Amino acid sequence: MNDLATGLVPQNLGDWLTHMERVHAKHIEMGLDRVSRVRDQMGLKPAFPVITVGGTNGKGSVCAMLEAILSAAGHRVGCYSSPHLLRYNERVRIGRVEADDATVCRALAAVEAARRGVALTYFEFGTLAAMKSFVDAEVDVAILEVGLGGRLDAVNIFDGDCAVVTSIGIDHVDYLGDSRESIGREKAGIFRAGRPAVCAEPDPPSSIESEARRIGARLLRFGVDFGCAGDRFQWSYWGPGGRRGGLPVPALRGRHQLRNAAAALAVLDEMKGKLPVAVGELRQGLVEVTLEGRFQVVPGRPAVILDVAHNPQAAEALAANLEQMGPFRRTIAVFGMLRDKDIAGVVRAMEQRIDAWFVGGIGVPRGASAAEVRDVIEAHGGAGRVHAFETPAQAFARACESAEPDDRICVFGSFYTVAEVMVAKGAGCGSAAG
C-alpha cells in the first residue's frame, strides 16, 4: 500500500521522491503502455517542438549544448535530463534554471491524481511530471534526454520533431542486448516517420540505418550528411544548413565534444524553421554551455577532475582527455562503480593512465563494494597500487592526503561516485581533507 492510500499525503519534494520510489516494485520496467495511459489521462499533448536525445554516451552534453544555444537565441527552453548529481531539481530546467520544489511538487501531484492505481516507475513518474511542468510553463521547445535505450524508454511516449543518437556502445545489456546491432535498434526506436534523425556515431551499426529506412525517418549521418573539423582553439561545422567556420570550442572539455556539438548544430539546421538561431547566438551558446561532472576540472592544486564515465566507451574518452591535459607527476584515481556495469572494461580503458587507485564502495543495492572493485583492478595489472575504502568520500579524502600539488586526482566510475565526492570536497582537496 502506498503513502497516499494510507492518507499520508507528501508535504515536500523529499516526501514525493520517497513516494515515487514506492509506487512500483521495480526500479526499471521497460514498456510504454502504463506511462502512455497516464499521459492520456493527464491530457499531455505538447504544442511545442520536442527534441529527443538518446545514445550510450554524450546525451547530456548534446542536451546542454542545445539548451544553451536555443536559450541564447531567446527561446524558452524546457530540458529534462537524468540522473541528477546532487538535487532532483537538476532534472527539470526551464529557461536554464532548475525548477523549484513547488513547481516539481505540483507536477508530481498532477501525475498522482491521474495515474489511478497505475504503477509507474520512478523515471516514468518523473518524465510525466517534467512534461507537465513544461506545458504549464509554456516553453517554446522541450529537450528530452532518454533514460535507457530509446524504444521502450518513457520519454518515447512523446513524438520528437527531431531525434538524436549520440553514440552506440555496450551498456545495459540486460535490457538492450549484448551487441551494438541490438543496442542500435533499441536506440533508433526514438526515430519518427518523415522527421529528421541525427546520428553522431562515426561507425554506427547497420541497425540504425535499417530502422530509419523501415519507418521512413530522414537519417543524417556524421561524416556523411554533417561533420566537423578543428583543434582546441576553434572548429568548423558543415551540414544541411551549409558550412560555418571559426566557431569557438564548446565550453565543455574534451575533443569528443566537437562531435557532440556538430550533432547539436545538425539538429538546429533541421529545426531552423521553428527555432531560428543567428550565428552570434550560436557562438554565445557554445561559450556559455555548462554541465557538471563531464570532465569537470576543479581549480586548485592538486587538480581534481570529475567525470561520470561509467562504461568502457566513456572511459576511453576520459583517458584520451587526461592524456591531452599536459604533464602531471602522478594521476590518482578515486573510483567506484555499480556492480552491473562493465568494471573490467572501464579498468582496461584507464589502467595506462592511473598511477594509484583509491577505491570506494557505493552504498546502494546495485553498488559494488570496494573489495569487488579492488579485485578487478588487481586482476588487470593493478596489484600493489590499489587502496580500498568504505565510501568514495573516504577514498577521496585519503587521495587528497596522498597527493602532491603537481599531481592530479581523477574521480570517475559512476554518478554516485562523483556526487558523493562533490558533496565531500567543497572547494577542493583542502575542504575534503579538513
Residue 171 is predicted with a pLDDT of 64
Structural domains of the chain, with CATH: 4-288 (3.40.1190.10), 296-433 (3.90.190.20)
Strands (E), 81-165: 92-94, 97-98, 141-145, 162-165
**Local structure of residue 338 (DSSP, 8 states):** B
Task: Provide φ and ψ at 308, rounded to 5°.
Answer: -80, 15
Angle 101-115/13-23 helices, nearest 10 degrees? 30
Residue 326 is predicted with a pLDDT of 81
Residue 157 is predicted with a pLDDT of 98
Residue 232 is predicted with a pLDDT of 77
User: Could you report the average pLDDT of every consecutive run of 10 residues in the chain (434 residues)?
Assistant: 56 94 78 95 97 95 98 98 95 98 97 95 96 98 94 96 92 67 94 98 95 97 96 91 94 91 98 97 97 92 95 94 91 96 96 96 94 95 89 96 96 97 73 43
Contact 52, 156 (CB under 8 A): yes
Peptide bond into 302 cis (omega under 30): yes
For the record, the C-alpha cell of 177 comes out as: 542486448
- Cβ within 8 Å of residue 242, ≥6 positions away: none
Find, among 167, 234, 159, 165, the residue nearest to 195 by Cα.
Answer: 159
Region class of 150: left (phi > 0), else alpha (psi between -120 and 50), else beta: left
| Residue 259 bridge partners (DSSP) | none
The secondary structure of 374-425 as a DSSP string is HHHHIIIIITTSEEEESSHHHHHHHHHHH--TT-EEEEES-HHHHHHHHHHH
Longest dimension (CA), the chain: 62
- From edge to edge, which strands make up the β-sheet containing 97-98? 97-98, 92-94, 77-80, 141-145, 50-54, 162-165, 196-199, 218-221
Length of the chain: 434
Q: ∠ CA(119), CA(126), CA(163), 5° rounding?
A: 110
Task: Provide φ and ψ at 259, rounded to 5°.
Answer: -65, -40
Q: Helix, strand, coil shares of the chain as percentages rounded to 5?
A: 45, 20, 40
Residue 9 is predicted with a pLDDT of 74
CA atoms within 13 A on the CB side of 29: 16
Pairing type for strands 234-239 and 227-230 reads: antiparallel
